[in-house]
A and B are shown apart, each in its own frame.
Chain A
Amino acid sequence: MQIRPILAAMRRHKAGTLLIGFQIALTLAIVCNALFIIHERIARVSRPSGVNETNLFVITNSWAGNWSDHQTAVQIEADLNALRQLGSVEDATALNSFPLHGSGWDNFVRLAPEQIHMTTDSSVYLADDHTLDTLGVKLIAGRNFTPNEIQALSIQGMTSWPVVIVSKGLANVLFPKGDALGKQIYVTSNNTPSTIIGISDTLQSHMMDSDDNAYAYNAVLVPMREVATGYVHYLIRARPGQLDAAMRDAPKALIAQSRLRIFEAGDGIMTFAQVRAKAYERDYGMAMLLAIVSAVLLAITAAGIVGLTSFWVGQRRRQIGVRRALGATQGDILSYFMTENLLIAVGGIVVGTLLAIGINLWMVTHDGVAYLSGSYLLAAAIALLLLGQGAVLAPALRASRVSPIEATRTA
């Protein structure tokens, strides 16, 4: 390989060399971090909720007017009966919040009454005996709630939650040995224990902040109807293939029960697919923006390499002619420019890797991004090497076609 003459020639156009190298370095640093963030977001978006999401939809129902707690409890019961009687509906449940919802109640969970700091944090779903069936979440141990365990209460009237079902994720955090069933935990602040009577399969929490990633699969189901908040979420499972029909029938059935209710315009009635899209819209947006920027960035860097190399080829036509006249083959000329670009790219990649790590460290401290894994650096480095070689190919081929006769021409 003729590396020495290449290095010597580079010294003649330091500025151009440095500019291409610097551009490759910056591109590597940004693309590498962008790919990493895209991957993180996609991983978040594709984590399972545990819910069987097809044929499921949500109606968020607010009560218009001052209903007494008792009236509300009776109305919820009547609403659920009306919904379950619809031909297009398989099952229905009333909840205070649901997986992917973003807002809801979370509570500290403790293992002993005297414990001051929490063991972990968990979503609290105020649920009933139809909740697991409607969500399509299996019970993997213990039993479901019975209808007479469901208390209709305003939360301040509540004294204790004697029985609860916990998600598999929460059971594993609290009792890593796998003996959660029958154990007591403390989910309320008034130091009365709750006994775990059942463990559900995977069930995601309502919490969507990335700060809450550690609690994403913690859920406690409490057999209770919350009747004083002024709203309730009805989760409704349509019979297979009848989602549209059920979504038409259900609101009519509810309004037939009572007109004093409000379905919020926009997000009052949503399929679970819409719930999911809304829950992750920030992540989709971020991934899309970074993908677009990365693609355009690579294109611009490639274009820059083509531009500068073409200029160099134009500048050196005479020298190329001389080399050809002295016996260099077309392959020699081609490999000269390819090698030159390779050397610059390697230099750029070394600097770019350091930059990429620096940017990542900054984001780790400021934006809660994870540490960059080496495979991204490697992938981005290879991508940029190939990009450089691909970009330089056309001008290098043009150079190799320079005729030896050029040697005899004055510039």
Chain B
Amino acid sequence: MFAYYLQLGLRSLKRNPVLTALMVMAIAFGVAASMITWSVFRVVSGNPIPWKSSQLYNVQVDNRGPQYDDPPNEPPEALNYTDAVALMQAHKAPHQTLLYDIAPSVLPKNPNDLPTTAYGYATSADFFSMFDVPFQYGSPWTNADDDAHAAVAVISNDLNKKLFGGANSIGRDVTLDMHAYRIVGVASHWDPKPRYYDAYDGMQFSADAPSVFIVFNRAIDMHVGLSGRNNCGGAPMHIAGDVEWLHRECAWIPFWAELPTPADVEKYKAFLTAYSSEQQQAGRFHWGPNVRLRNVTEWLAYKKVVPPESRISLFVSIGFFVICLVNTIGLLLAKFMRRSSEIGVRRALGATRREVYAQFLMEAATVGLAGGMLGLLLTIVGMQGVGLLFEPNVAHLARIDLSLLITTLMVSVLTTVIAAFYPTWRAAQVQPAWQLKSN
């Protein structure tokens, strides 16, 4: 019966070509618009590390006092050098790391080439295990390297390709800002989006994956400049390793702690509060403890990483799709009711209401399927134009994958069948006697 109704449905598509074309196009446009904006939205609003997002916590400590709080009562979004180093040394979480943005120059291997800039982070050993960085060659540096202020580096496979043609470069040197660093690891491609660990610097959708990582302590020793955000609440200050400057109350070091259980979170919060009280007693803070621990999803929500454009366009597209479906309900109603006499004959010949339902829902499903196919094409074409609609950093995140294609088809068929419930119900209500009489 299923196959027969499908055949009937296909035949019926041809019967009112204009009405059918209208419905198919409405569904196709609606589903394509929704899918294109969804493909962007699912990335920008996605969880970049779902298996661990509730265990990684961004640490905030108010080191500047209430008059600088923006929004009110919220501590700065990153730590200053004093607090970041103190929390690292306290080592109260199973794993913790700190980082700041660097953009050192990289000397090319061929002296005739011009130097380039490599973007990356000065950080600590735990960074790689906490954020699950995969390695192509070698491994992260160790906590001992952190303590030894070692001149070691992890580079991305992209930079490795550029400098060493992709060969195993472990043990070789890379020259950053005119100083040599020994390569201990080459990371495989790794760039979770949004880049939660550096949302402080507004890097959540940065187009290029970080290409170099060096030891934080070494970077401070070598005066490797901060290329990210520095919030001093006063005159703009810049790092040059100068001791006095390092101890100014600026916010520039995002700090993360891995806290596997709620008990760990409570314990760490208590530790932060105690630390702030200590600073207050020592006369450094003139205010009570004001600390925050936010896990990855809470942190992304707090930083409002989802661009309003992305949300607005998704909602507009869904609204558009709803209108297309309302349109489809109306047209299906017209199409089905035109065939009242046909339904009357079928019912009089013994078809049950259930069979009428099955036939007409099947017919609607074929419309949905046709709309989905066209929608699929429109989605693929439309994705080429995403770059015109969204800023490049966000647009390059949109990808067509199998799940998007399947969703497109499923959504069009399902929504069309749902839209067909009312017209089908009306069709099934047709009284056979009435239809037979008028003939």
Contact = CB atoms under 8 A, between A and B. Distances in A.
Given A260-B115, A290-B316, A308 B237 contact: no
Contact of B236 (A37, A107, A297): A107
B327 A286 contact: no
Interface stretch (A49-57, A61-69, A128-136): A61-69
B327 A303 contact: yes
Interface in B201-241: 223, 225, 227, 232-238, 240
Nearest to B223: A66
B307 interface: yes
Interface stretch (A152-160, A175-183, A372-380, A401-409): A152-160
A71 interface: no
Interface stretch (A142-150, A186-194, A236-244): A186-194
A300 interface: yes
A283 to B, nearest CB: 9
- Size category of the B interface is 35 or more
B159 interface: no
A70 to B, nearest CB: 13
B90 interface: no
Nearest to A284: B388
B26 interface: yes
A117 B19 CA distance: 64
Contacts of A368: 308
Contact of B330 (A289, A290, A307): A307
B392 A293 contact: no
Chain B contact residues: helix, strand, loop or mixed: helix
A133 to B, nearest CB: 25
B324 A262 contact: no
Interface in B348-364: none
B364 to A, nearest CB: 15
A293 B317 contact: yes
Interface string A382-403: 0000000000000000000000
A264 to B, nearest CB: 7
A228 B240 contact: yes
Given A26-B326, A282-B390, A108 B33 contact: no
A66 B33 CA distance: 51
A16 B334 CA distance: 8
Interface string B314-342: 00110110111011011101100110000
Given A26-B323, A260-B115, A293-B320, A37 B240 contact: no
B330 A65 contact: no
A155 B238 contact: yes
A407 to B, nearest CB: 15
B279 interface: no
Interface in A1-52: 15-16, 19-20, 22-23, 26-27, 29-30, 33-34, 37
Contacts of A304: 22, 26, 326-327, 330-331
Interface string B107-128: 1000000111100000000000
Contacts of B227: 230
B333 A15 contact: yes
Contact of B326 (A19, A65, A66, A285): A19
Nearest to A210: B308
A156 B237 CA distance: 6
A20 B326 CA distance: 8
A285 B390 CA distance: 5
Contacts of A367: 308, 311-312
Contact of A297 (B323, B388, B390, B392): B323
A363 interface: yes
Contact of B327 (A290, A301, A366): A301
B301 interface: no
Contact of A108 (B19, B234, B238): B234
B388 A230 contact: no
B86 interface: no
A123 B246 CA distance: 24
Contacts of A259: 114
A262 B117 CA distance: 7
Chain A contact residues: helix, strand, loop or mixed: helix
Contacts of B117: 62, 262, 264
B388 to A, nearest CB: 6
Contact of A307 (B19, B337, B391): B19
B323 A23 contact: yes
B245 A156 contact: yes
A16 B316 CA distance: 24
A94 interface: no
B67 interface: yes
B391 A282 contact: yes
Contact of A23 (B308, B330, B389): B330
A65 B178 contact: yes
Contact of B334 (A105, A297, A311, A363): A311
B103 interface: yes
B312 A363 contact: yes
Contacts of A112: none
A293 B33 contact: yes
B438 interface: yes
Interface string A52-96: 000000000011111000000000000000000000000000000
A34 B315 CA distance: 11
B309 A282 contact: yes
Contacts of B191: none
Contacts of A63: 105
A314 interface: yes
A66 B245 CA distance: 19
Contacts of B316: 30, 33-34, 289-290, 293
A290 B323 CA distance: 15
B116 A262 contact: yes
A289 to B, nearest CB: 5
A124 B317 CA distance: 40
Contacts of A410: 438
Interface of B: 18-19, 22, 25-26, 29, 33, 37, 67, 103, 105, 107, 114-117, 177-179, 223, 225, 227, 232-238, 240, 242, 244-245, 307-309, 311-313, 316-317, 319-320, 322-324, 326-327, 329-331, 333-334, 337-338, 388-392, 422, 426, 438
29 contacts: A15-B422, A16-B334, A19-B330, A29-B319, A34-B316, A64-B114, A66-B179, A154-B240, A188-B234, A188-B235, A259-B114, A262-B117, A281-B391, A285-B309, A285-B390, A285-B391, A288-B388, A290-B316, A297-B320, A300-B25, A301-B323, A303-B26, A304-B26, A307-B22, A307-B330, A307-B334, A311-B337, A311-B338, A366-B308
Q: Which 10 A-B pairs rank lowest in CB-CB distance, beginning with the nearest?
A: A189-B234, A311-B334, A64-B105, A188-B235, A64-B115, A304-B327, A105-B236, A19-B330, A367-B308, A285-B389
Given A30-B316, A189-B233, A189-B234, 17 more contacts: A16-B330, A16-B333, A23-B330, A30-B319, A62-B105, A65-B178, A156-B240, A230-B225, A262-B116, A288-B389, A300-B25, A304-B22, A304-B326, A308-B333, A308-B334, A310-B334, A311-B334
